[in-house]
Structure 1
Amino acid sequence: MTERLDEAVRGVGAVRSEPPVWPGAWVTSRLGVRLVDGDRPVGAGLASMVGLAVRRNPRRAHLLVSAVLGKHVPTDPRLVYGSGLLLGELVRARLRDEAPSVPSGPLKDALAGAPGAAASLRDALREPRPPVDAIVLGYAETATALGHSVADALGGAYYLHSTRRPVPGFAAYGGFEEEHSHATSHLLLPSDPAALDRDVPVVLVDDELSTGQTVLNTISALHALRPRRHYVLAALVDLRGASDRARVDELAARLGTRIDAVSLAGGRVELPDGVLEKGTRIVSELSAAAVPAVGDAALGVARVRLDWPSGVPDGGRHGFLPGHRTALEKDVPRMADAVAAELGEGASRVLVLGFEELMYAPLRLAEALADAFPGLDVRYSTTTRSPVLAVDDPGYAIRTRLAFPAHDDPADGPGERYAYNVAPAASRPPFDRIVFVVDDVGDTQMLAGGLVARLRALAPVVVVTVPSHRGDK
C-alpha cells in the first residue's frame, strides 16, 4: 500500500498557491475588528495564530478562527497535535513552578508553512517527561482534542471533556454555561465520578479565553462540589483585559485557591461601535452568495469499522486515563493502515474530517496517516454546530460552507450542522479523498442522506466508524 500511494502522490507539492494574505483582513476592512498583539510566550504572535470570520450569531459578530486547532480550517494534523502538546508543556511548567522550556522556532516555522516544521514541533514535544498528576477538563465542542493533547503532555493526567450529548446511564457531575455560545448547555459525565473528587490541580482547556466568564463559571461549580488548591486556565490565545483578569483574581481570593493562566499567544480584540449591527447586515447580504456550488456527481463511498482497542474509550466524554492513552498509542498506526487501504489509487490530497466533539480519534488517525505516507498531503478538521458566514476571499478564514442536518439524534432537537473549508475554494486545490470519522451513535441514515451525500459530490469518501464508549455499565 505504501508504494502504491507514494507513486500516486509524486509531484503533489506542485500545487497552486496564492499571495500570503492574512485570513482576517476581510473582516478588519468591513467590520473594523482589529487584533492587537500581546504576550508571545512561545514566539508566535496573535495574528499568526488566528484569522477572522463573521458569526451567524446576534450576540457576537466575529469569530476567531484558529490556525492550529483543526476545527474550521483543514490543518496539518502534526501542527494541531504539536500545538496542543506545546500548550501542555506550558501547563507542566506552571504546575511545577518552573520556567517553561519549550521550542519556539518550530511553531513559527510551521505556521509559515515550512516543510517538516510541523512534524519537528510534534516530535520535540513527544520526548518522555516525568508524569504530572492532574485533572484536565476540555470544553466541548471545540477544545475536546486540545484538552486531550494537554493531558498527553502531562503524562499522568486524568482527562474529561464536557459534552452536549446526554448519555443514558450517566448522571451529570456538574454543568456550566458558555454564555456567548450558539449552544450553551454543557455536561460533565464521568464514568467514575471519584476520579474528579481529588485535590489535585485542575486544568481547564479551551481554544481561547475571551472574557474568562466560562472558566469562572466552571471553577465556581467545581469548587462548590470539591474544593481544590490550584487551577490552571490553558488556551491557545488569551484575549482577556485587565478587568477580566481582576475578576479571576477576585474569585481565587474568595475561594481561597490559586488560579493561573497560560496560553501560546496573548493580545486583545478591538471592536468598533455598532459591530453587531454591521455583522448582522453582512450576514443578511452575503448568505445566499456564500453557499458553494456542489456538483450532482455521486462518487464512491467505502466503509471501515475500526478494530478499536478493547477497553479504550473513543475520547474523553466519560473520562480518559493514562493507561488508555498508552493502549491507543500502540494501535493507532494499525488503524491508520486500515484507513489507507481504502483510499484507492491516485490519492494525493486527503482530508480527515472528524465529527463535532469526536476530535481526538480522527486527529490521531490523521497524524498517523501523514507519518506513514509522507508523500500524501493530509489535512484534518471537524464538523461543527457553529454557524459562520463563508466568503471565498483569501483574506477571510472561512472560504466555503457545507450545511447538513444533524445526524446523531441530539438532545436539543434537529438542526443544521456545518463543515467549513471542505468544498473547493478559488485558488486552493481540492481534496481528492475525504475520510469522515464518526462514532456509531452518529452513523445513521441521516448521515448517509445528509453530510455523506454532500461529501460524495466532492470526492470519494471513506466513512470510518469508531465504537462509542458507553462506560463500565
Structure 2
Amino acid sequence: MSAGIWTGQADLWTGEWVSDRLDVRLADGERPAGVGLSDLVGLAVRRNPRRAHLLVSTVLGKHVPTDPRLVYGAGLLLGDLVRARLNGRSPGDTGGLLAEALKSRPGAAASLRDRLRAPRTPVDAVVLGYAETATALGHSVADSLGGAYYLHSTRRPVAGFATYGGFEEEHSHATSHLLLPADPAELNAEVPMVLVDDELSTGRTVLNTIRALHAVRRRRHYVVAALVDLRDDDDRARMRELGDELGARIDAVALASGRVELPDGILEAGQAVVSDLEAGRGERPVRPVRPARPVTWVDVGWPQGLPDGGRHGFTPEHRARLEKELPAMAARLVPALAGCGCVLVLGSEELMYAPLRLAEALADVLADVAVRYSTTTRSPVLAVDDPGYAIRTRLAFPAHDDPADGPGERYAYNVGARFDAIVLVVDAAADTQALKGGLLAELSALAPVSVVVIPAFGEGEL
C-alpha cells in the first residue's frame, strides 16, 4: 500500500483503512521520479457528496505535517521535469533521493532539495498555480525554473486589483477562482505557460483554464505539471484534441502516474461511512485537554514591499530578495522555540509558500529539532483515530479572513499534542479577532503558539 506518513503522533499510516472499507485501490503507472503513485499519495474519506475519496499527499504538506525540505524538494523536482520538457532534454538524475526522503532516511530530504536548488540557467515562463492546495507547489516549480513569473489563483477578491480571468474547479467544494495580477503585462509575456496542480485527475479544470486564458492571450506552448497524473486514455485524448483546436502544444508532466480504481456505488458508500462514524462510532476530533498555553506574536522582519506569495504575482527579483532574507527571518523565531524537540509550522489556506520557506529555513537552523509543516484548509475530511488512516485528528474553527463567500468552517488536520510548539503563519488580512477566538484558542490548548503575521501584499496599499 502507500508509504507510511508521519501524522504528528507516534506512528505511521499504512493506508489500509479506506481500501478495506470502500474497496478503493491505487494502481501504479509510470515512475518518472523513481517512485510510484502509492508512494506519493494515500486515501482518506471526504465530507463531500460529489466525491467520496481524497488523495492525501506524502509530499505536499497540506493535510499531513511533513518535513518542509521534502515538500520543497518535491516541488523543485516537479519543476525539473517541467524544465526538461521546455528545453527538450532529459531531466536531471536525483539519484533516488526522493525515494530515500520518503523513507525518512537521515539527510535525504535536505540533499534532494540542495541538489535541485543549485544554480542553473534560468528558464523563462509564466507559472500558474491553483488555489488553495497548489499555491506553494506552483511557487516551487517557478523557483526551479529560475526565470519564471509566478501567479496563483485566489478565492479572495482584493480591492484595487482587476480580475484577469476566472475558472471553475468542477469537483471542489468552493469553486470560484480569480486571477489578480498586480501587473497583467507579466502574465501576457511571450513565453510558455506552466499550470501546476497537486493532482491531475481528469484534466477538465486545466483544460478549461487553458481555453479561457488562450482566448485572452494566445500561446504556442503549455505545460501541465502535477505531483500525480490519474488521467485515463480518454482524458489524455481530450488534451491532445484541445491542443489541435488551439494550434498549441500541450504537454503534461508528473512525478508519478496511475489510476484510482473505484467500485460502483462509491459515493453512497462514502457517505454511509461518514454518517456512521460521525454518529459516534470512530471519528475523534481534537479536543482541548489542558489549559491554554502562551500565545506570542513574533515579528520576523518580513521585508517591506515583498509579496507574501503569488496571489498578485511573484518575480525572479522578489525571489532573490526572499532568499537573501530567509535566514535572518528564521533566526528571529529560534528564541521562541528553545528546548523544543518537535515543532509544527502551520500555514493558512492559500498562504502556503511563505510558511513553507520559513519552516525549511528553521529546519536547517534547528538541526536537533524535528520541524514539520502543514496548513489549514477549507476541505472537509473525515478524521479517524486509527493507525491505518492518514487524518487522525481534526481541528474545526471559523474562517478568520472575512472570505468573500461568507463565513464557514475551516480545518487543521493532524495537529496533535506531540508538538512542543506551534508556529502559526498568517497574512495581515487573517490576523483578526475571529482568529484569536477560533484557531488560536484551539492551538493554544495543545502547545505554546508563536504567531507570525506577514503583510498582505497589495491590501490597503493601493
Smaller-chain TM-score bracket: over 0.9
Q: Deviations over 1:431-471 (max 9, x none)?
A: 01000000010000000000000000000000111011007
Partner of 2:3: none
Aligned: 1:444 with 2:432 = yes
Question: What is the rounded CA distance, in whole Å, between the counterparts of 1:51 and 1:104 in structure 2?
Answer: 24
Partner of 1:205: 196
> For residues 311 and 293 of structure 1, do their structure 2 counterparts lie closer, same or farther at Cα, with a shift above 3 Å needed?
closer
1:137–1:202 contact (8 Å) kept in structure 2? yes
Aligned: 1:352 with 2:352 = no
Question: What is the rounded CA distance, in whole Å, between the counterparts of 2:214 and 2:354 in structure 1?
Answer: 30
Alignment match of 1:299 (pick from 293, 302, 322): 293
Aligned: 1:139 with 2:130 = yes
Q: Which amino acid aligns with 1:335?
A: M
Question: What is the rounded CA distance, in whole Å, between the counterparts of 2:93 and 2:248 in structure 1?
Answer: 27
1:135–1:201 contact (8 Å) kept in structure 2? yes
2:9–2:416 contact (8 Å) kept in structure 1? no
Deviation at 1:16, TM superposition (A): 8.4
Q: Which structure 1 residue ranges, 5 or more long, are not aligned?
A: 1-14, 425-429
Q: Deviations over 1:322-354 (max 9, x none)?
A: 0000000011110111111222x4211000000
Question: What is the rounded CA distance, in whole Å, between the counterparts of 2:10 and 2:91 in structure 1?
Answer: 36
Deviation at 1:17, TM superposition (A): 5.0
Question: What is the rounded CA distance, in whole Å, between the counterparts of 1:16 and 1:227 in structure 2?
Answer: 49
Alignment match of 1:218 (pick from 209, 218, 228): 209
Q: Which amino acid aligns with 1:442?
A: A
User: 368-377 vs 305-314, which deviates more?
Assistant: 305-314
Question: What is the rounded CA distance, in whole Å, between the counterparts of 1:341 and 1:221 in structure 2?
Answer: 49
SS in 2 for 1:186: coil
SS in 2 for 1:341: helix
Question: What is the rounded CA distance, in whole Å, between the counterparts of 1:386 and 1:299 in structure 2?
Answer: 27
Q: Deviations over 1:149-194 (max 9, x none)?
A: 0000000000000000000011110000000001000000000011
Aligned: 1:196 with 2:187 = yes
Question: What is the rounded CA distance, in whole Å, between the counterparts of 1:401 and 1:260 in structure 2?
Answer: 38
Deviation at 1:305, TM superposition (A): 2.7
Partner of 2:284: 290
Alignment match of 1:371 (pick from 351, 364, 369): 364
Partner of 2:323: 329
SS in 2 for 1:52: strand
Question: What is the rounded CA distance, in whole Å, between the counterparts of 1:76 and 1:463 in structure 2?
Answer: 20
Question: What is the rounded CA distance, in whole Å, between the counterparts of 2:408 and 2:100 in structure 1?
Answer: 40
Question: What is the rounded CA distance, in whole Å, between the counterparts of 2:9 and 2:237 in structure 1?
Answer: 48
Q: C-alpha root-mean-square deviation of aligned residues, in Å? A: 1.3
Identical counterparts, % of pairs: 70
- For residues 32-431 of structure 1, the aligned pairs below 5 Å read 32-287=23-278, 288=280, 289-343=283-337, 345-424=338-417, 430-431=418-419
SS in 2 for 1:279: helix
Q: How many residues are paired up?
A: 451
Q: Which amino acid aligns with 1:221?
A: A
Partner of 2:4: none
Q: Which amino acid aligns with 1:341?
A: P
Runs of 4+ with >2 A deviation: 15-18, 287-290
TM score, norm. by length of structure 2: 0.96
Partner of 2:441: 453
1:199–1:229 contact (8 Å) kept in structure 2? no
